[in-house]
Amino acid sequence: MLKFIILAVVGFILYKLLINDQKKKKDMTIKEQEKMAANGIMVKDPVCGTYVDKNSDIRVKEQDKVHCFCSYDCRDKFIKRIGAEDVTDKDQ
């Protein structure tokens, strides 16, 4: 019986540690993304606000500006919204 209680406690502690670790990692990622955005490495998806790689393949050209997107869904929404030119995959 005592063995079972110890196992349960150890399991609970491990579970808590894991949850905390994941939370920390998530906070870190958002901060890192904001940092990278500030440095011009990442750009913000104008549709959903997600940070995406500046060299993302999913992109749309609006006059002299190029917007990058996290997904084709976001790109399509943006194209519909502004009637922009699709430049995805053109440089490959």
Q: Taking contact as CB under 5 A, which single stretch among the options 4-12, 22-30, 59-67, 74-82 is the one that binds Zn ion?
A: 74-82
Smallest separation, CB 57 to Zn ion (Å) = 14
Q: In the chain, count of helices (H) and strands (E)?
A: 2, 5
CB 59 within 8 A of CB 65: no
Element (DSSP H or E) covering residue 73? helix 72-82
Site string for Zn ion, 11-50 (x = CB under 5 A): ----------------------------------x-xx-x
Is the Cβ of residue 44 or residue 61 nearer to Zn ion in the bound state? 44
Task: Report yes or no: 37 and 55 within 8 Å, Cβ to Cβ.
Answer: no
Would you say 46 and 78 are in contact if contact means Cβ atoms under 8 Å apart?
A: yes
| Segment lying near Zn ion (by CB under 5 A), choices 22-30, 34-42, 54-62, 63-71 | 63-71
Question: Which residues of this protein are in contact with Zn ion, per CB under 5 A?
Answer: 45, 47-48, 50, 70, 74
